[in-house]
Amino acid sequence: MEDVISKQVSTDAAAGRARRGTNQSGMRDHNERLVLSLVRQHGSLAKSDIARITGLSAQTVSVIMRELEEDGLLLRQAPQRGRIGQPSIPMALAPGGAFFIGLKIGRRSAELVLIDFLGNVRAMLQHSYRYPAPREAIGFVAEGLAKLRGALTPEEDKRIAGLGVAVPFELWSWADAAGAPRAVMEEWRDCDIRTEIQSLCDFPVYLQNDATSACGAEMVFGKTGDLSDFVYFYIGAFAGGGVVLNGRLHGGPTGNAGALGSMPVPGENGRPTQLIDVASIAVLEKMLAARGAETAHLWTSPEDWGDVGPELDIWLGRAAEALAYAIVSATAVIDFQAAVIDGWMPVAVRHRLVEAVGKAIEGIDAEGLRLPKVREGTVGIHARALGAASLPLSERFLIGAAPVSGSA
């Protein structure tokens, strides 16, 4: 699929930039995106604040904000009095200004989510399976889109700005690890999933690696504070990640930057292996299955795994050590402010994992490096689906959007 993805890099998106438009189907210009990004970051801002931060003239800011208000993207807030002169009027994002749909196709489940302009989840659908099959995934999307759009008013439906797809690149290569029939997984090699889904809807469809999308969710919706450079790990069926540099999701020329699952880490007997072979939840699943324990709840009940047993402690210890080495290795290349860890797991398990990673790092020789702070992600189990929904949001309305594959 990687070859297919590289060919999809957006001819149409470039055309979209040229035809700005005044509604949600058009690309906003740079200054409008800058204003929307600042308002999203700060919650609300007055015209004078935006002029001061951006260096744009007060007149330019006034014109931009008036147009954004007329387009239904900004809302006036209560005037702020107490200063000399006219009271300032902060402007905030309008929740119903635009809507976005995100699709996550994972190795054990698919999710479809509808969010508003603030990132609030309006609806979510989930479908679990033993392994992903193209036809089954597309059928889930077709059915799910009808349900999500059917719950919106006609005016709201017109404001759907796009659909993002988060899917593991080269999904067919994980047949053995996913325990799936090789013939079914091979179908992904020739499946142009973005085009298939584009045929189901009348708004643009974007495509991104699933772990990179989760990283994007942390950047757009998470509580990252003033972090502008961080390495991100998402622990799902398989471990992956992403990189944020200068406040921008960095995908690299092929979209594989931050492919942290492939990072070499110490394995058994000191032999090198990949992070994905140690820190993935699929590894915990195999450990449980080896003693005949039930494993379905790992995928169907990520909020509460219940009493997993001693295998969880063993897995956490090994995963933490592997993640610690991955963080130190990444820091030797880029001076990250933080290492963020999130995943398809209960909050309590994530907390234990992050604590264990912090302790494991202390035992690694990192002389010459300034190690980043290890912290928990703030988006949680649905980060990949929300990250998918953030693709059209970032591409059309924000500054610092990562390159994504095509739109129509």
Which amino acid is it at 55? G
* pTM score: 0.84
Domains of the chain with CATH codes: 25-95 (1.10.10.10), 98-214+385-397 (3.30.420.40), 226-377 (3.30.420.40)
pLDDT of 107 reads 83
pLDDT of 19 reads 29
CB count in 10 Å sphere of residue 62: 15
pLDDT of 85 reads 57
DSSP codes, 116-182: ETT--EEEEEEEE-SS--HHHHHHHHHHHHHHHHHTS-HHHHHTEEEEEEEE-TTGGGGHHHHT--H
pLDDT of 351 reads 98
- What are the mean pLDDT values of the chain's consecutive 10-residue runs (408 residues total)? 35 32 53 93 91 92 94 90 71 96 92 96 92 92 97 96 92 71 87 95 94 93 88 94 90 81 89 95 95 91 94 97 97 96 97 98 94 96 96 88 50
Asked whether 85 and 378 are in contact (CB, 8 A), the reply is no
pLDDT of 27 reads 52
Strands (E), 184-263: 205-209, 230-235, 239-245, 248-250
pLDDT of 404 reads 54
List C-alpha distances in Å: 318 to 263, 285, 374.
15, 14, 17
350-376 per-residue burial string, b: 16 or more CB within 10 A, e: under 16: bebbbebbbebbeeeeeeeeebbebbe
pLDDT of 53 reads 93
pLDDT of 175 reads 64
pLDDT of 34 reads 93
**Average per-residue pLDDT for the chain:** 87
Q: Which residues contact 223 (CB under 8 A, 6 or more apart)?
A: 378
